[in-house]
Structure 1
Amino acid sequence: MRDKAYKVLAKQLDISNKKAKELIDRGLVYIGNRKVKIARAEIDTKTKFRVSQIPKLKVIFEDENILAIDKPAFLTSEEIEKDSGYKLLHRLDKETSGVLLLVKNEEFREKAIDEFKKGEVYKEYIAWVEGILAEELTIDLPILTIKKNNRAKSKISYSKGKEALTKITPLEIISKYTKIKAVIKTGRTHQIRVHLSRVDHPIVGDALYGGKEWNRIMLHAKKIKLLDYSFEANEPNEFIKFI
């Protein structure tokens, strides 16, 4: 017999269909080592699933102005904003982990936004990319973002794109993969992902921009320096124990 994947999962875990669909949509459900991508796909009712768990949120720092969170992958920035009751200062993609900042008052928020606009915020990421990248690289290519049906996708556009600058430093090479540090001067949507894809080093797991299928997009927001604050989130185990 066959049935929709989310219904089979719901029966096996004894949870609601809604909860089962949510787990699949988040990217947490696997059949063997293959991620289940379509919740409504027809599968054998005897299929056995493996469900990954989302690590707990960690508070890095908190005072009267700011709340710094170590965001796990598969949890959206908007969910954290809703649960915390504070406004997001910036966003991380669902599968990107690392430092996420929320603000507690409007006066500080305006100061912080001004720093972002002036390019005075230091933003450092870690990523595993495909291929061997042996030398430092500066990618200065304008990015255009198109939003449709609450989804965004970016591309390089010399005629309509906005300035985007990414500095890449190789850190480690394993097999045919390179661990890199990426420092961005600007903050365009999917900037690091698009830039690395354009130079033929897509981020592992970033299927939207040509990367190899993986458990997650291997991108981590490691450090942010803003005004008199500096925050850092340790790399997740899957970055340290890559392959």
Structure 2
Amino acid sequence: MSIFEEEDFAYEQWLAVEGKPEVRLDVCLTEKTGTSRSFIRNMIEEGRVLVNGETKKANYRIRAEDKIGINLPKPRELKVVPQQIPLEIIYEDDDLLVVNKPQGMVVHPAPGVWEGTLVNALLYHCRDLSGINGIIRPGIVHRIDKDTSGLLVVAKNDESHNQLAGQLKEHKMQRKYLAVVHGVLSEPSGTIDAPIGRDPKDRKKMAVVFKHSRPAVTHYEVEERFIGYTKIKAVLETGRTHQIRVHMAYIRNPVLGDPLYGPKKNILGLTGQVLHAHTLAFLHPRGGKLMEFSADPPREFLEAVDKLRELT
């Protein structure tokens, strides 16, 4: 199997890859390279993947005689700059921190957002963070969306990180959210058990899909009803990307102010979804003591609720 060469590309090397017949090109390369499927799709779209010397689409089905080459980019040294950004630290000890992330703050750097994140702020406050998730996500055990506010636990060392990540994986870490959703929920409580995966129609979104998805379970309770809206408490049993937002949209009660899964009309002029990680509970990684924390919703959340009460 030959290795394709292209002098014009400022990339490290062309790698020859052998795939199983009838497997999609993007699926094959994702498995072979250990990178994400979105990364591979970008490589394909930019012409950096060749099949028998020609470009193909991501859904191309590999044949036994195909020769596949991919030109992988050179790894670049990434540096995350510590920044003096105010942090609301709810709790801190030698092993971990619990922080109340404001709405509008990204949790960790990513392409296009290298500064102003929670990680930039954490590195200024505390240089000793676990290295399990690498340079970009030091200490980050779990995430919440940019426009979701609320509590996160951050690990200061690898042992604590492994312990906390284990609790998360085994559904032993309790996370309760407050949200306002469209529509009036008639039942006092409910459970949404529906798998979540990448939306096949829009790769920027997640959706309830039954292929290439993962199990997802959200429990909710009604806290207050308004005209056309409901305030709920949601408890995550699993932790999929955008889980509450996707599940509530799935039952046709999207989160108020959600620009991705909700209606385009924004009656209250909100800057993001009315969703707040209110309560976080876990066993301390050193000693196993039950730790439980709560944080009140931000001003925009409370003002939205007050306006809905006035209209009711």
TM category, shorter: 0.7 to 0.9
- Residue 193 of structure 2 is aligned to residue 140 of structure 1: yes
How far off is 1:82 after superposition?
Answer: 2.3
Q: How far apart, in 1, do the equivalents of 2:87 and 2:121 lie?
A: 11
Q: How far apart, in 1, do the equivalents of 2:179 and 2:118 lie?
A: 23
1:62 to 92, 96, 106: 92
- Kept after mapping to 1: 8 A contact 2:199/2:209: no
Q: RMSD of the alignment, in Å?
A: 1.8
How far off is 1:58 after superposition?
Answer: 1.1
Letter in 2 for 1:81: V
- Kept after mapping to 2: 8 A contact 1:81/1:102: no
- Kept after mapping to 1: 8 A contact 2:140/2:155: yes
Residue 133 and residue 146 in structure 1: after superposition, are their counterparts in 2 closer, same or farther (change >3 A)?
closer
Letter in 2 for 1:172: E
Equivalent positions of 1:46-125 (< 5 A) are: 56-78=86-108, 79-85=117-123, 86=129, 87-125=139-177
- Kept after mapping to 1: 8 A contact 2:192/2:217: yes
Identity, in percent, stands at: 37
Equivalent positions of 1:1-243 (< 5 A) are: 56-78=86-108, 79-85=117-123, 86=129, 87-135=139-187, 136-145=189-198, 152-211=204-263, 212-213=265-266, 214-227=270-283, 228-241=290-303, 242=305, 243=307
* Structure of greater relative contact order (alpha carbons < 8 Å, 6+ residues apart): 1
Q: How far apart, in 2, do the equivalents of 1:118 and 1:134 lie?
A: 32
Q: How far apart, in 2, do the equivalents of 1:183 and 1:155 lie?
A: 19
- Please say which structure displays the higher CA radius of gyration: 2
Q: How far apart, in 1, do the equivalents of 2:92 and 2:260 lie?
A: 34
The structure that is strand-richer by fraction is 1
How far off is 1:137 after superposition?
Answer: 1.2
Report SS of the residue matched to 1:138. Answer: strand
- Unaligned runs of 5+ residues in structure 1 are 1-54
Give the alignment's TM-score, normalised by structure 2.
Answer: 0.57
How far off is 1:238 after superposition?
Answer: 2.6
How far off is 1:152 after superposition?
Answer: 4.4
How far off is 1:83 after superposition?
Answer: 2.1
Q: How far apart, in 2, do the equivalents of 1:81 and 1:237 lie?
A: 23
- Unaligned runs of 5+ residues in structure 2 are 1-84, 109-116, 124-128, 130-138, 284-289, 308-312
Count, aligned residues: 186
- 1:44-93 alpha-carbon deviations (Å, 9 max, x no partner): xxxxxxxxxxx953110001111111111011111111221231111111
Q: How far apart, in 2, do the equivalents of 1:125 and 1:203 lie?
A: 12
How far off is 1:126 after superposition?
Answer: 0.4
> Which residue of the partner structure matches residue 18 of structure 1?
none
Give the alignment's TM-score, normalised by structure 1.
Answer: 0.72
Q: Which moved more, 1:93-102 or 1:151-160?
A: 151-160
- Kept after mapping to 2: 8 A contact 1:203/1:218: yes
Q: How far apart, in 1, do the equivalents of 2:167 and 2:208 lie?
A: 25
Q: How far apart, in 2, do the equivalents of 1:61 and 1:129 lie?
A: 30
- Kept after mapping to 1: 8 A contact 2:245/2:255: yes
Letter in 2 for 1:208: L
How far off is 1:113 after superposition?
Answer: 0.6
Q: How far apart, in 2, do the equivalents of 1:181 and 1:142 lie?
A: 20
- Kept after mapping to 1: 8 A contact 2:276/2:297: yes
- Kept after mapping to 2: 8 A contact 1:56/1:72: no
Q: How far apart, in 2, do the equivalents of 1:173 and 1:207 lie?
A: 22
Report SS of the residue matched to 1:109. Answer: helix
